[in-house]
Structure 1
Amino acid sequence: MLLNKFNATTSFPKGFLWGGAIAANQAEGAWDVDGREPSQADIMILPEEYSRLGSFGENVTLKEIQTALNDKTGNYPRRRGIDFFHTFPDDLALMAEMGFKCFRTSFSWSRIFPKGDELEPNEKGLEFYDRLIDKMLELGIEPVMTISHYEIPINLIVEYGGWANPKLIDFFVRFSKVLLKRYKNKVKYWIIINQQNDVYGWGEFAGLGILKGHENQEETMFQAVHHQFVATAEVVKCGHQIKTDMKMGMMLGINGTYPASSRPEEVMAAYELWNRNTFFFSDVAVHGEYPGYMIRYFKDHNINLIVTEKELQLIKENTVDYISFSYYSSGVVHAEKPNQLLLDNPYTKASIWGWVMDPVGFRYTFNVLWDRYHLPLFVAENGIGAVDEVVDGKIHDDYRKKYLQDHVLQMKEAIKDGVNIFGYASWGPIDIISYSQAEMSKRYGFVYVDLDDKGKGTGKRLKKDSFYWYQKVIQSNGEEI
């Protein structure tokens, strides 16, 4: 066969899952309804003054947790979200109007196991997800469900120390089994843990529930990561046992990582940082073993993990079916600062929140993942946060259309490169509370929600110009971009 006659895919495949993504903790609200108890997201306050370039949750203490739980007047945006708990039928109808083929959202762990360590789930919490998933299916929208998305019950942090405690393995597996069994005939695509590699900085608290102050903070962090690896493998095993065609996926939070120059030391520094901060997690999830570069890193940094042969065997035998990832921006690595991804690439521009806009990096990321793993890829998040203005009842967000258009075109190029991509979930289809800054004013959606940073407004939903752009993209299966 001549190569030029090979029937390569040059456009989005039939049945491609176009859609969008949100998280329970940023949208649902109803933080104390039907037996739900606080999660880590519910203690994150939005102060009166803040920096768009900053993040919250980097140095959470037990005292701060208790203060937040006792605070009845502070501005805690994720407690109210956009009231998706009550408005989801109308919000999903808007997504169906755009033509969504899939919708990615997450379960609130503390809605189902309020304290996290109960033996039996909260039925009222499960009934909400019954209604939500049934509505998706009724509208012809494929549910892509994330089991854990920065939603650890606060009790598991205060009483157990988060994922640093191996007891969380059993708690998480119990929670996951309830979901896998209940929705085995309704949910095909599962993402076990959101952005599993996002563990440095505020991610230590958000993803692992670890507070600062451990004698060896990095060792504690990686021990917690190991516990998540074990739990993830157990959940993959359970999912495949419950239903053989259930697709169990892992998720990365990816920032394109480049050397600041062609200087060999910087090329190597960028390679090592991308391995350590990102591919370590997918290497374990896909290949089922700890890579040599991390074993060396642990040795060089005096990191000693408690790991059993039984756990390693479990990880080896229960690898994931696909890789999902979020992609927003990229950065560069300087040899003098090998542990930092900096945003000083002179060939890119940044949003007002400092996030570099790099659509070519999107295609690059697809190819890197495909070459490394040869597993199907799903885009779990991609979008731009911006300040939207309502003028005569309309929102002209050409900047959002431009960002997404550029990225979708590069995704199409990756498909031409031979990469197996089966879905794209834009973040997010509707305005929600941002995670890193806890703002409502940092908007991502195709649908505007009339609420401000203090929760004031009508809550009315308005279609932005990008709504109609994305509708055409989906209708044409990516031929009209």
Structure 2
Amino acid sequence: MKKVVNNFPDNFLWGGAVAACQIEGAYDEDGRGLSTSDLHAYSTKLDRSNIEKEGGGTLQEIKQMIEDNDSYFPKRFGIDFYHTYKSDLSLMQELGLKAFRTSISWSRIFPNGDEKDPNEKGIEFYDQLIDEIIRDGMEPVITMSHYDIPVNLITNYGGFANRKVLDFFVNYAKVLLERYGDRVKYWIVFNQLNLVPHIQFGSLGLYEDESDNMLQLMYQAVHHQFVACAKVKKMANEISPNALIGTMVADGTMYPATCKPEDIVFTMKKNRMQYFFTDVQLRGEYPQYALRFFNDNNISLKFLSDDEELIKNYTMDYIAISYYYSKVADSTKNNMKPFDGEQNPYLKPTLWEWRADPLGLYNSLSQYWDRYQKPIFITENGLGAIDVVDENNEIHDQYRIEYLKNHIIQVKEAVKDGANIIGYLSWAPIDIVSSSSAEMSKRYGYVYVDQDDFGKGTKDRIKKDSFDWYKKVIETNGDNL
């Protein structure tokens, strides 16, 4: 008989996660080309509680942004990690991280995306970065595509809706596996592959007037990413057999707004269309409920002859999830659009209306484990907040400690139930530019970066109270919360 598990496993990967497009900067150095994230301008008129999309626009608007020299584009500058990565990683080593997740900027390796040969300066930077992560005692967890699609692949090809972009991506992935496969075990192919249509620009490379039927175009692009993942897995088996290739989703599990049967069934259907992304990649085929959804919505996807065989034979090794909040679904107010839901009246709002729900993390982890019986990697979880530096140059972020503690407690509950959870990577261990709002004021880190929403400041790094707290969590393998 199996023994009851009461603690995190000894090899549990406690860590932190960032993204190249939010941290690196140096957007115009060493041959890097413009990417989707470089076109997300900061706005002082931002409505934090209602952010519908991250950048993008019509094709004409995108071309105008490329030529825009007046607006401020924070993700072009990040926190200058491109030049400060050694000292920043030294702080992560002091924190005791066992794993560090970051991404590779596609446009730093292939500036236009469609070149035959990679940019050697970009290759060399990630050689040095990955080596530094390992020297500092951390397992590198690398995302291949995190909202960093070369702009040329959008303006001249139409993004992942175009089958050619799938081939360009596979060529890019092949370079990564061949160059870094001897040092990187954990790979994520696409960040939050299911976070559509909110991030269809950064994730799929689609512009808003690309088609009269954007829903079909979106799911066609997603299909091409499914095939790309399978091809990456196939390549990894040959190039780096010890590599683990994961798919990543933003958790969108919802609760019914009421116990009305209509709300319960509607919520089940919405949740099922969230599981669609992982059903395809972990079970190896398109589920019947998704085919029915496509038929009901006049969506007709184009498959090449070997697409289904690739998806069937090369499923992902693990599921990575991001989790921040939960919502409820109301059959009278909401529709089947992904993530369309209502705020839970039993949960307290933040400035960004992301209502913390630790029990929701336990619920979601349990659902994923029961459904797939595949390893789960929590690759994002954290609290974005306004942090204040006091007169003693200290940041007392007890609110962040409480948020993280309560979520880690629920991760442990899932582990006790038998869920195979690889690790917990909090977002983000150092303050970075926000993905959703392109502001610096929304801070997640254990380390404060003295930089404002327009990139001004000393850039000094200051450890917050949460730094010492998380360090103890790691040292005690989650026993001391």
**Would you say same fold, with TM above 0.5?**
yes
Which 5+ residue runs of structure 1 have no aligned equivalent? Answer: none
Moved over 4 A (4+): none
Matched, 1:379 2:378: yes
Shift of 1:64: 1.8
**Alignment partner of 1:105: what SS?**
strand
Please report how far the alpha carbon of residue 264 of structure 1 lies from its aligned counterpart in structure 2 after TM superposition: 1.0
Q: Is the 8 A contact 2:41 2:55 kept in 1?
A: no
Once residues 253 and 458 of structure 2 are traced to their aligned partners in structure 1, the CA distance between those partners, rounded to angstroms, is: 39
CA positional deviation for 1:307: 1.1
**Is the Cα contact below 8 Å between 2:37 and 2:55 reproduced in 1?**
no
Secondary structure (helix, strand or coil) at the match of 1:176 reads helix
Deviation string for 1:353-376 (max 9, x for gaps)?
Answer: 100100000001110000000001
Q: In the TM superposition, what is the alpha-carbon distance from 1:48 to its structure 2 partner?
A: 2.7
> 1:274-313 alignment to 2 at 5 Å?
274-276=271-273, 278-313=274-309
Deviation at residue 8 of structure 1 after TM alignment: 2.1
**Letter of the aligned partner of 1:350 in structure 2?**
P
How far, CA to CA, are the matches of 2:301 and 2:375 in structure 1? 31
Q: Say yes or no: does 1:366 pair with 2:365.
A: yes
- Could you report, residue by residue, the CA deviation over 1:106-128 in whole angstroms, capped at 9, with x for unpaired residues? 00000000000001100000111
Measure how far apart 1:72 and its partner are: 2.1
Secondary structure in structure 1 of the residue aligned to 2:259: coil
| Equivalent of 1:216 in 210, 213, 216 | 213
Q: What does residue 335 of structure 2 align with?
A: 338
TM-score between the two structures when normalised by the length of structure 1? 0.97
Report the alpha carbon displacement of residue 58 of structure 1 after superposing the two structures with TM.
6.0
CA contact (8 A) 1:256 1:362 kept: no
> Is 1:94 paired with 2:91?
yes
Aligned counterpart, 1:468: 468
Whole-Å separation in 1 of the counterparts to 2:100 and 2:387: 23
Instruction: Determine if the alignment matches structure 1 residue 318 to structure 2 residue 314.
Output: yes
Question: In structure 2, what is the Cα distance between the partners aligned to 1:141 and 1:93?
Answer: 11
Shift, 1:445, TM fit: 0.4
User: Residue in 2 aligned with 1:192?
Assistant: 189
Residue 456 of structure 1 pairs with residue 456 of structure 2: yes
SS of 2:262's equivalent in the other structure is helix
1:207 to 203, 212, 234: 203
Report matched runs for 1:391-406 at 5 Å: 391=390, 392-406=392-406
Amino acid at match of 2:219: F
CA distance in 2, matches of 1:366, 1:253: 12
What is the one-letter code of the residue matched to 2:403? Y
How much has 1:9 moved relative to structure 2? 1.5
Match of 1:413 in 2: 413
Is this contact kept in 2: 1:270–1:338, CA < 8 A? no
Unaligned regions of 5+ residues in structure 2, if any? none
SS in 2 for 1:146: strand
Could you say which residue in structure 2 is the equivalent of 1:77? 74
TM-score by length of 2: 0.97
Which residue identity does 1:21 align to in structure 2?
A: A
Instruction: For 2:420, give the aligned amino acid.
Output: N
Match of 1:18 in 2: 14
1:42 aligns with 2:41: no
Q: Structure 2 counterpart of 1:186, which letter?
A: R
RMSD of the TM alignment (CA)? 1.1
Residue-by-residue CA offset, 1:229-281 (whole Å, 9 max, x unaligned): 111100011011112221010001013311101111111111111121x2111
Percent of pairs identical after alignment? Answer: 50
The one-character-per-residue Cα deviations of 1:375-427 (angstroms, maximum 9, x if unpaired) are 01100100010000000210000100000000000101110111110111000
Aligned residues: 475
| 2:32 pairs with 1:33 | no
Write the letter of the residue equivalent to 1:66.
K
Q: State the Cα distance separating 1:468 from its structure 2 match.
A: 0.4
